[in-house]
Amino acid sequence: MIRTFVVSLTIPDNEAYTALETLGRLGIDSSRVVRADVWIFEGELDAGLAATIGSIESIHNPNKHRLAERQADRPEPGEVWIATRDEAPATLVAGRALPGVRAILRRTAWRLLDDQGRDVAPAVLDRAVETFLCNPAFQVAITQ
Amino acid sequence: MMTAAHDDAVALGRTLGVALSDDEIRRIAEHLGRVPSATELFAFDAQWSEHCSYKSSREHLKKLPTEGPTVLLGVGEDAGIVRLGEWQGETYGIVVAHESHNHPSQVVPFEGAATGIGGIVRDVLCMGAEVIGVADPLRFGRLENEHCRYVAQQVVDGIAAYGNAIGVPNVGGDVFFDSSFDDNVLVNVVALGLVKEKDIIHSRAPEGSVGWDIVLVGKATDRSGFGGASFSSLTLDEDDAEANKGAVQVPDPFLKNVIMRASYAVFAALREQGLTVGFKDLGAGGLAGCSAELCAAGGVGAEVELERVSTAQRDLPPEVIAIGETQERLCWIVPPSFTPTLLALYNEMYSLPRVARGACAAVIGKVTDTRRYVARYRNETVMDVDLEFLTGGVRYSRPYTIAPVEIEPRDARVRDVEAAFPPGGSDLIGRLRAVLAHRDVCSRASIYQRYDGVVRGCTAIPPGYADAGVLVPIPGAPLAFAVGIGGNPRYGAIDPRRAAELAVVEAVAQVTAVGALPVGLTDCLNFGDPTIPEQMGAFVAAVEGLSEAARALDVPFVSGNVSLYNRSSSGNHVAPSPIVGCVGTIADVTHTASAALKRAGSALFVLGVPQLAYGGTVIAEVAGLSTRALPQMDYEGFAEACAVVRAGFERGFVLASRDVSDGGVLTAIAEMAFGSLAGIGAELNHTDAFFVEIDARGRNWTNNAVWFAEFPGFVCEVDAERAAAFAELAAKHGVRAREVGETIGRAELDYNGQRAPIAELRSIWDAPLRDFYGASSGPS
Amino acid sequence: MAAGPRVAVVVFPGTNSEDETLRAVRAVGLQGELVHWSQPEALARFDAFVLPGGFAYEDRIRAGAVAAHDAVMDPVIEAAQAGKFVLGICNGAQILAEAGLVPGTGPLRLPTAAFAPNASGRFQSVHVHVKLSVTLDRVPILGGIEDGAVIPAWASHGDGRLAAPADELARIERDGHLAFIYCDRHGNPVSAPNGAALDCAGLVNRDGNVLAIMPHPERDGWTFQHLDDSRDVARGDTAATLAPSGGIRFFEHFAQAVRERFSA
């Protein structure tokens, strides 16, 4: 079984803001950059998984994070996920084994929005990935 | 005023959820002659909290010695300052601050621990100092417990994330594991700064500052950390933990890195213009607490416009803007002529607004001559209180009882030890293996290697290479200083008073073991619920112990912190934990050395007198001793032993040293061998020389267990050719120094023919925390 | 003081090793100055550049990625292309990789290699030695360095694992980009503490004027910082204890190169 969780910031996201500014320098225009951590769990997962990871601060800190479950372990349209190439799946989080979890994968989700709040054209997102968001030396970009 | 208004005030307080007692709220309403506003209630809540006011502890803390020729600035401001020495005609001081972040670290361990570093670093910075080091005393619960494992991991990660990013080396600290910390982790942090005596900035509005600007610098104010001061003074309940998470601030070490550097540039501008200003960090009690304390200390007043405060969220209520404890903020009081320079440095040269959204320096108010604190928000006065009443706090004389400590008869102690160590010898190396694997003895490398111990390039002895880290803070100058930490919870559980004495002795011994002269102490007193007389009694006893030890050794306390209510709802109080830091100075860095054995053929000396007192020792736990007897203190003898070690370093006799602490003499020698790059081992062949003096008539009691006894003393590697001179030096000081063996050119520990390879012992010592925290590697 | 070559130590928001790096640059007789990210125009008047350690822009997106695109890097990249010497240490090395200056086998600012997160996933600070593992003609930036030179340093980083596709790693090795590898104090190769491919500790570009090194030689650049016998030998001798030695040799070779280039 696979379950996918997306953790986003509820406080200002300085990293997304910096990405927006840097992309602007590269001539890739968007009005907003949205970033989130994606956690993918594989194994015999029990119903309490969401509550468990919700209490692990390095995944979800309620002071600044929002935790949501995704139905698919793939990006949504308009979204790109950056993963580490040849990622060795983790089995522990903060030194802790989670019940039934055999493998944990991490992704960073990025989304570029225009001034209407719509996803930018796929070609623009591609360019952002190629020129900045992904270092192909050790990362891969996953889109739908 | 009518009691009805008092009742309204109490009702408002209860609705707002402040931690002030009903009586305290009535006193406030009485003083104001009206129902306080929400902002005022929150301000008093913070200012009168245990955390800010030391309301239960202050009357006892007065007992500590705080003066001496080494003190440049004593207790009373955010940090104390001790004299480092003179260089090129200037007097330099080391700023010392000590803080706990226990409650937050239990609730959100990563962020709590990170914020702990962030807060204490500001306390040092606001003295006008460069921040040059931190050290973390940590007390974790049992690693067999899943949640304790989680907390222990996250705390270390949080310290690493913050300290590494701001570029301040972690130069020491200690770690103990004990079940009394299962529900209440202790995360203390000592921070150190460097400042010239003439450049010290005080946390007060200077004389003649009426009309000056109050400038707030740093992160945009948000909702995080609202209610933090009173939160840290509450008992932790599992259900509350979830609700309390909002009271922990969100740290931003990246912004802090830039604010620190920008502040250094401001210090330089102030020196150039010869200005005296006020500077203080925002901690508990937020903007109102900080600016109120600055103005109260200067005998002036303040008028603050809250809408001028940069906020991260729209429409924050005024009480959050005034009292919220958003991190990474500082407050200046400067003459208006300097304000443009100040703003330009933070906002343009160091471009705070570019570094974090909403971060900036902005004028938010003026100093007045009213001695009142007035805050307005959108033309409405939300706070108007007498400064002295607000910051003077409240005092409690809490009832306490000090539990008597029973004296165990000597015969019982002998029987206890001999049951585990039969006369006639035993497998000492086997015992050593068990001691080396003990949770409080085993290698800490996998923890301190997560911290940057060498950033800034001033580290002479990094963490793990000796009992104390050593920094050489002024480039080009030989002046150095060391930082030691003491505070053993196994002793605390037996006798808080003696544990406090031993904490001072341990911290002093650690800096001595690198050749330093102790010049200042700092304490963090971590105890349970002070409303329970036995817990309060433990606190009072510990303060008496600290006081006695500090006076006897003639080292003053220059700063400190108190953390009470370290108990869970199930009634699990932390072991009484007086934790002591010691700063020691080394006039010339050439006279210090790491604890690693240096060469073959040196003499190994033990200084000090072991006692038949195995209570709370590691060997007691490992060998199953039931004794609870702690060592008797002989301060004069200990001070003389320290003088011998220091002189030994200065005269080049001592090549390496460790103090005798957890695991005793044999453990110290093994650890000295583990540090050796050259593969030096030890042969312990003069084993009769080393014994317990059983009574005043000089009767001896010889037992192998003495190799694991913990007592105020030292192990020294002494240059073979100077061994006689060293023995003579010790004799002159009346210090018992016994030569117990010598170093050898093979990496082996040899005790009267019982042998073990150093590599094998080291792997036992390395394993426990490496397996928990991940890989570590030894010296290269 | 006679006009000599001037070296800029470039400070980004989040840099934390600028002081000790500047100290090392000055200790070897160069005129070093800190230049701040808000003053890119000031960089034009420098003859060589050092990017020090730290966490520029908080390692946002990736270590070194944002700094590599910062305006303050424009003059540094121009200078590198004009053949001036550029040295990156730790975070500076990460920035040079993200800027595409090392190994320098692809277009600018489109990295072909990375100093990626350590295999352990964590920051680690350990004392190491690094060894020159290319021929001397490959490192004109280290004037007068000897074959197989061993330099003591501290590896204090969370992202120091060289990572690149297999063909790029082969190129790095074959074409002499693998400037430094990890070794013990006797120069025997050891596994990289961070899991780096090729046990790489440093990369050099094609022209040998841009060098990226992960460990910090400036943190073991004075006798009092040494952990080995050399410090024991200096016991009792204040001047010797405070003297530059060990890791400072790395900067001496850099200084020799900068001076030779400047007077040429």
CA atoms within 13 A on the CB side of B579: 30
d(C-alpha A128, C-alpha B111), whole Å:
32
Residue C48 bridge partners (DSSP) = C7, C85
Q: How far is B378 from chain A (nearest CA, A)?
A: 25
Mean pLDDT of B392-415: 88
Consecutive H or E run containing B760: helix B758-773
CB contact under 8 A, B357 and A14: yes
Tokens standing for residue A19: 């990405």
Mean pLDDT of chain B: 92
Query: Could you tell me if B521 and B553 are in contact, meaning their C-beta atoms sit under 8 angstroms apart?
Result: no
Q: Which residues of C are catalytic?
A: 90, 216, 218
Instruction: For residue C113, give the nearest of A14, A19, A137 by CB distance.
Output: A137
- Residues of chain A with pLDDT below 70 are none
In chain B, the percentage of residues whose pLDDT exceeds 70 is 94
Per residue in B479-523, pLDDT tens?
999 999 999 999 999 999 999 999 999 999 999 999 999 999 999
φ, ψ dihedrals at B381, nearest 5°:
-80, 120
**Relative orientation angle of helices B664-674 and B758-773, to the nearest 10 degrees:** 90
CB interface of C with B, residues 74-93, below 8 Å: none
Q: How far is B65 from chain C (nearest CA, A)?
A: 34
Residue boundaries of the structural domains of chain A = 2-142
Q: How far is C105 from chain B (nearest CA, A)?
A: 31
d(C-alpha B630, C-alpha B628), whole Å:
6
Instruction: For residue A63, give the nearest of B152, B157, B250 by CB distance.
Output: B250
With bands split at pLDDT 50, 70 and 90, how would you rate the model's confidence at C128?
Answer: very high
Contact residues on chain C for B774, CB-CB shorter than 8 A: 120, 122
Task: Give every strand in the sheet of A32-43, ordered side by side.
Answer: A65-70, A2-9, A32-43, A101-113, A79-84, A139-142
CB contact under 8 A, B111 and A63: yes
Alpha helices in B458-522 (DSSP H): 489-494, 496-512
d(C-alpha C19, C-alpha C203), whole Å:
24
pLDDT above 70 (res C52): yes
Tokens standing for residue B762: 């080291």
What is the DSSP annotation of C34-58?
EEETT-GGGGGG-SEEEE--B-GGG
Q: How far is C98 from chain A (nearest CA, A)?
A: 8
C12 part of contact set with chain B, CB < 8 Å: no
Q: For chain A, what's the residue count?
A: 144
Of B94, B100, B99, the residue nearest B129 (C-alpha): B94
Of C131, C227, C119, the residue nearest B780 (C-alpha): C227
B144 part of contact set with chain A, CB < 8 Å: no
d(C-alpha B24, C-alpha C67), whole Å:
53
CA B113 to chain centre: 13
B154 part of contact set with chain A, CB < 8 Å: yes
d(C-alpha B772, C-alpha B68), whole Å:
44
pLDDT above 50 (res B239): no
CB interface of C with B, residues 47-66, below 8 Å: 53-55, 57-58
Instruction: Supply the pLDDT for residue A98.
Output: 87
CB contact under 8 A, C123 and B450: yes
Closest chain A residue to C63, measured at CA: A135
Instruction: Supply the pLDDT for residue B146.
Output: 87
Closest chain B residue to A14, measured at CA: B356
With bands split at pLDDT 50, 70 and 90, how would you rate the model's confidence at B244?
Answer: very low
Per residue in B738-771, pLDDT tens?
999 999 999 999 998 999 999 999 999 999 998 8
CB contact under 8 A, A138 and C168: no
d(C-alpha C72, C-alpha B374), whole Å:
45
CB contact under 8 A, A85 and C69: no
With bands split at pLDDT 50, 70 and 90, how would you rate the model's confidence at B296?
Answer: very high
Query: Could you tell me if B527 and B538 are in contact, meaning their C-beta atoms sit under 8 angstroms apart?
Result: yes
pLDDT above 50 (res C1): no
Q: Alpha carbon of B539 to those of A63, B57, B407, B533, B751: distances in Å? A: 33, 8, 21, 10, 42
B108 part of contact set with chain A, CB < 8 Å: yes
C135 part of contact set with chain B, CB < 8 Å: no
Contact residues on chain A for C113, CB-CB shorter than 8 A: 137
d(C-alpha B336, C-alpha C70), whole Å:
35
Q: How far is A144 from chain B (nearest CA, A)?
A: 32
- Residue recorded with tokens 């060469």: B599
Of B577, B408, B440, the residue nearest B502 (C-alpha): B577
C31 part of contact set with chain B, CB < 8 Å: no
**Spatial CB neighbours of B357, under 8 Å, sequence gap ≥ 6:** A12, A14, A17, B220, B312
Query: Could you tell me if B475 and C237 are in contact, meaning their C-beta atoms sit under 8 angstroms apart?
Result: no
CA atoms within 13 A on the CB side of B586: 34
With bands split at pLDDT 50, 70 and 90, how would you rate the model's confidence at B49?
Answer: confident
Mean pLDDT of B455-476: 97
Q: Alpha carbon of A31 to those of A7, A10, A16, A34, A112: distances in Å? A: 22, 19, 11, 10, 8
Give the ipTM of the model, two decimals please. 0.96
Q: For chain B, what's the residue count?
A: 780
Amino acid residing at B245? K
With bands split at pLDDT 50, 70 and 90, how would you rate the model's confidence at B349?
Answer: very high
Contact residues on chain A for C116, CB-CB shorter than 8 A: 84, 135, 137-138
Instruction: Supply the pLDDT for residue A67.
Output: 95
Q: Pairing between strand B130-140 and B170-177?
A: parallel
Identify the chains in contact with B, defined as 3+ C-beta pairs within 8 A. Answer: A, C
CATH topology of domain C6-111+123-263: Rossmann fold (3.40.50)
Q: Which residues of B are catalytic?
A: 51, 101
Residue A7 bridge partners (DSSP) = A37, A67
Of B55, B154, B167, the residue nearest B109 (C-alpha): B154
Mutation site, C227, C237, C250, interface B, largest B CB count within 10 A = C227
Per residue in C209-259, pLDDT tens?
999 999 999 999 999 999 988 899 999 999 999 999 999 999 999 999 999
**Spatial CB neighbours of C10, under 8 Å, sequence gap ≥ 6:** C35, C37, C43, C49, C50, C51, C52, C72, C76, C92
Per residue in A13-55, pLDDT tens?
889 989 999 999 999 989 999 999 999 999 999 889 999 999 8
CB interface of A with C, residues 10-39, below 8 Å: 14-15, 18-19, 22, 25-26
pLDDT above 70 (res B185): yes
Tokens standing for residue C214: 């992960």
C229-256: burial string, b at 16+ Cβ within 10 Å, e else: eebbebbeeeebbbebbbbbbbbbbbbb
Per residue in B259-289, pLDDT tens?
999 999 999 999 999 999 999 999 888 999 9
Instruction: Supply the pLDDT for residue B245.
Output: 45
Query: Could you tell me if A133 and A18 are in contact, meaning their C-beta atoms sit under 8 angstroms apart?
Result: no
With bands split at pLDDT 50, 70 and 90, how would you rate the model's confidence at C159?
Answer: very high
Instruction: Supply the pLDDT for residue B569.
Output: 76
CB contact under 8 A, B108 and A63: yes
SS3 B638: helix
User: Left if phi > 0, otherwise alpha if psi is -120 to 50, otherwise beta: which for B222?
Assistant: beta
CB contact under 8 A, A61 and B149: no
d(C-alpha B607, C-alpha B715), whole Å:
6
CB contact under 8 A, A63 and B146: no
d(C-alpha C49, C-alpha C22), whole Å:
11
d(C-alpha C48, C-alpha C214), whole Å:
19
Residue B372 bridge partners (DSSP) = B386
Q: How far is A84 from chain C (nearest CA, A)?
A: 9
Total CB pairs under 8 A between chain A and B: 51
Q: Alpha carbon of A137 to those of C97, C167, C175: distances in Å? A: 10, 11, 18
Consecutive H or E run containing B170: strand B170-177
Q: Alpha carbon of C198 to those of B35, C115, C170, C179, C216: distances in Å? A: 72, 12, 9, 11, 19
SS3 B173: strand
With bands split at pLDDT 50, 70 and 90, how would you rate the model's confidence at B472?
Answer: very high
Total CB pairs under 8 A between chain A and C: 52
Per residue in B704-733, pLDDT tens?
899 999 999 999 999 999 999 999 999 999
**Spatial CB neighbours of B724, under 8 Å, sequence gap ≥ 6:** none
Mean pLDDT of B196-223: 95
Q: How far is C133 from chain A (nearest CA, A)?
A: 22
d(C-alpha C54, C-alpha B518), whole Å:
33
CB contact under 8 A, A57 and B108: yes
Of B219, B217, B254, the residue nearest B343 (C-alpha): B217
